[in-house]
């Protein structure tokens, strides 16, 4: 497809044009860090971020979501009819959504809550200008993006080079955009590298004593899975009102790092010890998921490293396995 170009000075107008039909979510600055939030104008959007503290996959799989509420025998399903545009989603996080699709749309069952949000949301991806210290997307091959976006913006000089990824994206192109032959020439290089050869041998290291040793530092706080853009484990809980006649059903994100995650009726816990839980996350990301769906469950965003209060870094752990 031939590309387009949008002058930076027209960006504000573009956002205004989107506003007529969509709610817009984009990176915004919150105190000292960046998160995705609803914005009303281009001025609110932050550009100086490497990546956001939390992934925009949260907008599709919220950490806590009301599925429905009930009153006596009446059930009210939540409406999901707002149409949204997410501007500024990084390529790795688009890859994370593609991975989540495997889980919530293409596996054995379909998750209607997720699907509706996916259908109602357009993605305008924004290429990275530079990699953060914990990014290793280059190793995972997730720095490049061939599908999954509606539009892809690439900052180049005083303009954005815009690539069309879908018909829905094409429809967003208006008179502000000029067609061009110019191409995005950005190449990203990460200082952090994951040794993929080691990753492919991980199964041989399953009983390695290193797991136990490394896990001694782990606090089992679950930050690594809660901030991971591809973790999709959840629990369903009912919250009745005190009169018991009304209440709501919630789905809440949970984590394999918690002891009660693998607890079954009768009180048996499958992954009782910390090292088993510690290893499980890494193996689910890089071994089990790959076996099941032929793709890694990690996009190299580095959030699990940045956010670990114990400074645990799975990349250096894997690289040093011997």
Partner 1 sequence: MLLNVEKALGNIFSKLDFVYFPLIKRENELKKYDFCFIEGAVTNKEQVKLIKHLRKKSRFVVAFGTCATYGGIASIQDFENETLAEEVYGSKISRISDTVQGIGNYINVDYYMRGCPVIKDELLKTIDFFEQMKIPPDYELPVCVECRKKGNRCLLAVDHLPCMGAITYGGCDALCTSQGIPCQGCRGPLPSANVDARVKVFEKFGMSKEDIRRRFIKFAGTSKKFRRILKEL
Contacts with partner 1, residue ranges (CB under 8 A): 30-33, 35, 53-54, 58, 63-64, 216-223, 226-227, 240, 242-244, 252-253, 255, 258-260, 274, 306-311
Applying CB under 6 A, does 35 fall inside the site for ligand SF4? no
233 contact choice in ligand SF4, partner 1, none (CB below 5 to 8 Å, kind-dependent): ligand SF4
Applying CB under 6 A, does 141 fall inside the site for ligand SF4? no
Query: CA–CA separation, 299 vs 78, rounded Å?
Result: 31
Applying CB under 6 A, does 159 fall inside the site for ligand SF4? no
242 contact choice in partner 1, ligand SF4, none (CB below 5 to 8 Å, kind-dependent): partner 1
Judge whether 277 and 260 are in contact, CB under 8 Å: no
Provide, rounded to whole angstroms, the least separation between the CB of residue 229 and ligand SF4: 5
- What the block records as the tokens of 164 is 């069309």
User: Between vectors from CA 141 to CA 198 and to CA 173, what angle results, nearest 5°?
Assistant: 165
Query: CA–CA separation, 143 vs 167, rounded Å?
Result: 23
Within 13 Å, how many C-alpha atoms sit on residue 129's CB side? 9
- For ligand SF4, the closer of residues 159 and 225 by Cβ is 225
Applying CB under 6 A, does 94 fall inside the site for ligand SF4? no
159 contact choice in ligand SF4, partner 1, none (CB below 5 to 8 Å, kind-dependent): none
Query: CA–CA separation, 34 vs 286, rounded Å?
Result: 27
- For ligand SF4, the closer of residues 127 and 284 by Cβ is 284
Applying CB under 6 A, does 310 fall inside the site for ligand SF4? yes
Query: CA–CA separation, 103 vs 105, rounded Å?
Result: 6
User: Strand pairing of 3-7 and 159-164?
Assistant: antiparallel
Query: CA–CA separation, 104 vs 15, rounded Å?
Result: 30
If DSSP codes are grouped into helix, strand and coil, which group holds residue 76?
Answer: strand
Applying CB under 6 A, does 164 fall inside the site for ligand SF4? no
From candidates 22, 303, 317, 318, binder to ligand SF4 by CB under 6 A: 303
Query: CA–CA separation, 129 vs 155, rounded Å?
Result: 8
**Contact stretch for ligand SF4 (CB under 6 A) within 1-9, 64-72, 169-177, 221-229:** 221-229
Chain residues in the site for ligand SF4 (CB under 6 A):
218-225, 228-233, 255-257, 281, 284-285, 298-304, 308-310, 312
């Amino acid at each position: 497809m031939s590309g387009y170009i949008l002058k930076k000075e027209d960006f504000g107008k573009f956002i205004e044009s989107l506003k007529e039909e969509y709610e817009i979510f984009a990176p915004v600055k919150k105190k000292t860090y960046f998160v995705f939030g609803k914005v009303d104008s281009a001025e609110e959007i932050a550009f100086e971020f490497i990546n956001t503290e939390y992934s925009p996959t949260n907008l599709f799989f919220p950490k806590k979501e009301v599925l429905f509420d009930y009153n006596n025998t009446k059930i009210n399903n939540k409406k999901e009819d707002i149409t949204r545009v997410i501007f500024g989603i990084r390529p790795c996080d688009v890859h994370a959504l593609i991975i989540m699709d495997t889980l919530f749309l293409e596996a054995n069952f379909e998750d209607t809550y997720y699907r509706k949000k996916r259908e109602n949301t357009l993605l305008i991806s924004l290429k990275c200008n530079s990699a953060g210290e914990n990014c290793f997307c280059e190793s995972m091959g997730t720095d490049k993006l061939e599908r999954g976006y509606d539009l892809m913006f690439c900052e180049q000089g005083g303009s954005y080079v815009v690539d069309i990824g879908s018909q829905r994206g094409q429809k967003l192109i208006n008179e502000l955009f000029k067609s061009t032959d110019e191409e995005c020439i950005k190449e990203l290089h990460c200082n952090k590298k994951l040794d993929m050869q080691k990753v492919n041998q991980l199964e041989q290291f399953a009983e390695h004593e290193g797991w136990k040793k490394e896990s001694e530092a782990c606090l089992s706080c679950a930050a690594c899975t809660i901030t991971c853009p591809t973790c999709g484990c959840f629990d369903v809980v009912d919250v009745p009102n005190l009169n018991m006649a009304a209440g709501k059903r919630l789905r809440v994100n949970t984590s394999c790092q918690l002891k009660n995650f693998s607890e079954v009726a009768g009180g048996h816990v499958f992954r009782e010890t910390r090292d088993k839980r510690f290893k499980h996350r890494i193996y689910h990301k890089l071994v089990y998921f790959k076996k099941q769906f032929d793709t890694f469950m990690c996009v190299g965003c580095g959030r699990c490293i940045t956010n670990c209060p114990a400074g645990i870094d799975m990349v250096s752990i894997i690289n040093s396995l011997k």
